[in-house]
């Protein structure tokens, strides 16, 4: 399973400094400027948090870089190569895989099948091989099955492989969604509020899982409302407010940033913090 580690040096030469480099992203919805000139960069293998008060534009930004929503302007570079986030499936093929805030699994399919679908984009045997049950087909199917089971094992769901996805508990569904996304061999895993609705124990398990993902060499971008989780887990954090980038840096830096405090808590809090 050599692919399980993230490929390095794929661009032929030294690894680019930034895995994802996004700048000048703007998006307007009718009368609302959802995003103004937002820039973000993610180092390879880092866990990067995206936070901000409600309505800051986090999900919109997420949707823009993963191709669900077209931006009005923006420059997008992934692993040194520019990409146009217009076609959702091309974004995944390029190496950004995401999960969804309200968990979008293939509900009536089994847990194993959900992950096997994730392998689709990295496998290529055509349908006529399937009809003929050729050796090429059998070989690839065995690989897909093996890889999918390994992924389920990685997230701790191996015992549930045969279950129908919608019968899983909420926490397990989240993990399945992550496993499915990992199956696409992403360089960047984008998680949309992965800890929503979780209790403290589940959050700890999630944190541990994300750290293991980072250990594989993948970068993780996550939107989260749980500030404690973000500050404890992330290497760097980007803060948005009302569609604008207001701070970017390590959790410690961001926490002390007056603009951030202002955005979350209001002017009174700034004075308190400054004192």
State the residues that interact with other proteins by CB under 8 A.
Answer: 66, 68, 88-89, 91-93, 97-98, 100, 102-110, 113, 116-123, 125, 127, 130-131, 133, 137, 140-141, 144, 160, 162-164, 166-170, 173, 180-181, 183-184, 197
Alpha-helix residue ranges (DSSP H) falling in 55-190: 58-65, 88-94, 111-118, 127-132, 135-155, 170-183
Pick the closer one to other proteins by CB: 45 or 118. Answer: 118
The answer to whether 66 touches 88, Cβ cutoff 8 Å, is yes
| Count of alpha carbons within 13 angstroms of residue 172, beta-carbon side | 20
Give the residue with the Cβ less far from other proteins, 107 or 215: 107
Q: How far is the CB of 128 from other proteins (least distance, A)?
A: 10
Q: How far apart are CA 250 and CA 195, in angstroms?
A: 20
> What number of CA atoms fall less than 13 Å from residue 156's CA on the CB side?
13
As measured in angstroms, the least distance from the Cβ of 100 to other proteins is: 7
Instruction: Determine the Cα–Cα distance for residues 99 and 105; give it in Å rounded to an integer.
Output: 9
**Residue 140 Cβ vs other proteins, minimum distance, rounded to whole Å:** 7
- When the beta carbons of 183 and 219 are compared against other proteins, the nearer one is 183
176 or 246: whose CB is closer to other proteins? 176
The answer to whether the beta carbons of residues 233 and 213 sit under 8 Å apart is no
Q: Which residues sit opposite 189 in a β-bridge?
A: 97, 220
Of 47 and 168, nearer to other proteins (C-beta) is 168
- How far, CA to CA in Å, does 119 sit from each of 113, 122, 147, 181? 10, 6, 8, 9
Q: Compare residues 91 and 230 and give the one whose CB is closer to other proteins.
A: 91
Whole-angstrom CA distances from 143 to 49, 137, 156 are 34, 10, 20
Q: Mind giving me the DSSP string for 38-90? A: EEEEE-TT-EEEEE-STTSSHHHHHHHHTTSS--SEEEEEETTEE--TTSHHH
Enumerate residues 6+ apart whose C-beta is below 8 A from 217: 5, 6, 8, 44, 45
Q: Is the Cβ of residue 187 or residue 236 nearer to other proteins in the bound state?
A: 187
- Work out the burial of residue 54: count CB atoms within 10 Å of its CB; fewer than 13 is exposed, 13-18 middle, 19 or more buried: exposed
From the CB of 157, what's the least distance to other proteins, in Å?
Answer: 12
Cβ proximity to other proteins: between 60 and 184 the closer is 184
Least gap, CB of 241 to other proteins (angstroms):
26
């Amino acid at each position: 399973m050599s692919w399980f580690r993230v490929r390095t040096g794929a661009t032929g030469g030294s690894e680019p400094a930034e895995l994802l480099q996004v700048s000048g992203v703007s998006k307007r919805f009718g009368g609302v400027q959802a995003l103004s000139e937002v820039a973000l960069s993610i180092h390879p293998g880092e866990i990067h948090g995206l936070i901000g008060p409600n309505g800051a534009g986090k999900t919109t930004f997420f949707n823009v870089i993963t191709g669900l929503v077209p931006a009005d302007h923006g420059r997008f570079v992934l692993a040194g190569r520019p990409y146009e986030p217009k076609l959702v499936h091309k974004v995944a093929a390029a190496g950004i895989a995401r999960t969804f805030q309200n968990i979008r699994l293939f509900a009536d399919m089994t847990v194993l099948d959900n992950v096997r679908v994730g392998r689709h984009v990295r496998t290529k045997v055509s349908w006529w091989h399937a009809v003929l049950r050729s050796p090429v087909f059998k070989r690839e199917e065995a690989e897909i099955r093996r890889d999918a089971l390994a992924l389920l094992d990685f997230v701790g769901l191996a015992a549930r492989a045969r279950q129908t996805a919608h019968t899983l508990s909420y926490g397990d569904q989240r993990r399945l969604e992550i496993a499915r996304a990992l199956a696409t061999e992403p360089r960047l895993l984008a998680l949309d509020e992965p800890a929503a609705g979780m209790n403290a124990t589940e959050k700890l398990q999630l944190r541990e899982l994300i750290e293991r993902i980072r250990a594989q060499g993948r970068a993780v971008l996550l939107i989260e409302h749980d500030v404690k989780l973000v500050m404890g887990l992330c290497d760097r954090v980007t803060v948005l407010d009302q569609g604008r980038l207001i701070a970017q840096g390590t959790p410690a830096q961001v926490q002390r940033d007056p603009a951030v405090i202002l955005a979350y808590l209001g002017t009174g809090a700034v004075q308190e913090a400054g004192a």
